Amino acid sequence: MLSWEQTAALAAMRCERAWVEIDLAALAHNVQQIKSLLAPQTQLMTVVKADAYGHGACTVARTALQAGASWLGVATIPEGIELRQAGIKAPILILGATNTAEQIRAIAQWELQPTLCTPQQALIYSETLTSLNQTLPVHIKIDTGMSRLGTNWQEAADFVQLVYHCPNLEIASIYSHLATADSPDPTIMKEQQRRFEEAKKAIRLTARYAIATRLTGTKINNLGRQFPRLHLANTAATLTSRNLHYDMVRVGLATYGLYPANHLKQVVELKPVMQVKAIVTQVKTIAAGTGVSYGYQFIADREMRLAVVGIGYADGIPRNLSNKMKVLIRGQQVPQVGAITMDQIMIDVSAIPDLQVGEVVTVLGKDGDLQIGADDWAEILGTISWEILCSFKHRLPRVAIGESKRQKVEGRR
Ligand SMILES: *Cc1c(COP(=O)(O)O)cnc(C)c1O
């Protein structure tokens, strides 16, 4: 066991090399911007799966709930438990699949809410919950064209009816997920919405049938009293049209200040929440013709001032950015040179001859008027900004800023 002083010293040391800053004021601003698009009765679910896209799930969840979100979305049971252990009370939907009796017991114990997609799953849920003598709100997922989790839209009404008749399951919502909401061409999204509507109509007929069976004394649940909440929209659909919002929207990316597509940039003003920073650890002059880093992928064409920075691919900088990325120092942009190594990168600082060891380098984020975004890296690498945000490892401590004073985000246990 470390003493309190040793723990504090270790925490400070972890921030002496490289770290991720999480701007909570920007996060709250983004949540409020998203809320401003919604009708008053439409709920906002903030999606905090994958440790809140790398931002730190508990801190993000607390800030988002304060700023107007009322639901949280996670991918896995442990992600949900982490939020509950931090004392977060908001309803938590598990977006991923959960199938075993052991998983179901954990979900019930931690008051999480599962997604149901298949009859086998509904039956094992019902059986397990009956043995626990516990009732659970469940969310029915319909596949309207994503071909991922969900019951086929044409079978949705039958599935809802089955779940309705399973003891100990309460249908809390019915939802689907869009495959192409970020495309400027809405054709496929419209077809998915049409299928969602078709399923909704068929389910309404089922609901009437359910009321009839209730009158004959079979069962009462919220499908009989009130039609379950419907939801379909991710960030892109939320920014596209209110017509896609239904009773709730599930927003991840925009919470973190990024746009899913260029054509959606006009809708709201979002601020990036994450910045990645590192420290200059050595500065040197190299002669013309000197090779830099593994494989000599860079050779100085002139005498050059070179700085070493304490961050590398083991921290989450994709190695494929070698010789392609830039960083910011003192409000200026300078190029990274040579292969990115596991723990360190080299940068050409000839433009800043008096640069000192210990100065802060902005690897991702804003410095003065310049900004490097996750979407800039995504474009160079041919990927999406979601993947960039999720790539930063937990060797980098998350440091929350933008609150009343600097506050360190607890690392993940
Ligand atoms: C991840 C996820 C979201 C959030 O998507 P964004 O594009 O980041 O807003 C919404 N719904 C489901 C089912 C998801 O898996």
216 contact partners, CB below 8 Å, separation of at least 6: none
Return the residue matching tokens 């079979």.
218
Of 3-7, 213-217, 256-260, 304-308, the range with the lowest mean pLDDT is 213-217
Per-residue tokens: 221: 């649940």
147 contact partners, CB below 8 Å, separation of at least 6: 179
Please give the pLDDT value at position 214. 54
> Is the CB of 255 inside a 6 Å radius of any atom of ligand 1?
no
> Is the CB of 47 inside a 6 Å radius of any atom of ligand 1?
yes
Q: What percent of the chain has pLDDT over 70?
A: 91
> Is the CB of 312 inside a 6 Å radius of any atom of ligand 1?
no
**pLDDT tens per residue across span 387-409:** 999 999 999 999 999 864 334 44
| Ligand 1 pocket: which of 139, 250, 259, 384 to mutate (most atoms within 8 A of CB) | 250
Is 148 known to sit in a ligand binding site? yes
Among the atoms of ligand 1, which is closest to the Cα of residue 95?
Answer: 13
Cα torsion 95, 100, 105, 106: sign = negative
Distance 48 CA to ligand 1 centre (A): 9
> Is the CB of 250 inside a 6 Å radius of any atom of ligand 1?
yes
Distance 54 CA to ligand 1 centre (A): 14
**pLDDT tens per residue across span 117-137:** 999 999 999 999 999 999 999
Cα distance between residue 59 and residue 86, in whole Å = 9
Q: Catalytic residues, which ones? A: 49, 294
Return the residue matching tokens 């010789």.
323
pTM more than 0.85:
yes
Q: Compute φ and ψ for 398, nearest 5 degrees.
A: -90, 125
Collapse the DSSP code of 136 into the 3-class scheme (helix H, G, I; strand E, B; otherwise coil) and give the result.
strand
Q: What is the mean pLDDT of residues 368-376?
A: 97
CA angle 199, 201, 204 (to 5 degrees): 110
Distance 10 CA to ligand 1 centre (A): 36
Of 106-120, 192-206, 211-225, 374-388, the range with the lowest mean pLDDT is 211-225
* Alpha helix stretches (DSSP H) within 134-186: 156-164
Among the atoms of ligand 1, which is closest to the Cα of residue 235?
Answer: 9
Distance 45 CA to ligand 1 centre (A): 10
Of 13-22, 44-53, 205-214, the range with the lowest mean pLDDT is 205-214
**pLDDT tens per residue across span 5-42:** 777 776 666 668 999 999 999 999 999 999 999 999 99
**pLDDT tens per residue across span 136-192:** 999 999 999 999 999 999 999 999 999 999 999 999 999 999 999 999 999 999 999
> Is the CB of 95 inside a 6 Å radius of any atom of ligand 1?
yes
Please give the pLDDT value at position 408. 46
Is 250 known to sit in a ligand binding site? no
> Is the CB of 251 inside a 6 Å radius of any atom of ligand 1?
yes
> Is the CB of 252 inside a 6 Å radius of any atom of ligand 1?
yes
Of 61-65, 211-215, 236-240, 403-407, the range with the lowest mean pLDDT is 403-407
CA angle 286, 288, 292 (to 5 degrees): 55
| DSSP string for 52-120 | HHTT-HHHHHHHHHHHT--EEEESSHHHHHHHHHTT--S-EEE-S---SHHHHHHHHHTT-B-EE-SHH
Collapse the DSSP code of 387 into the 3-class scheme (helix H, G, I; strand E, B; otherwise coil) and give the result.
helix
Q: What percent of the chain has pLDDT over 90?
A: 87
- Alpha-carbon torsion angle 122, 124, 128, 131, nearest 10: 100
| Ligand 1 pocket: which of 33, 44, 47 to mutate (most atoms within 8 A of CB) | 47
Distance 233 CA to ligand 1 centre (A): 8
Supply the mean pLDDT for the chain.
Answer: 93
Among the atoms of ligand 1, which is closest to the Cα of residue 234?
Answer: 9
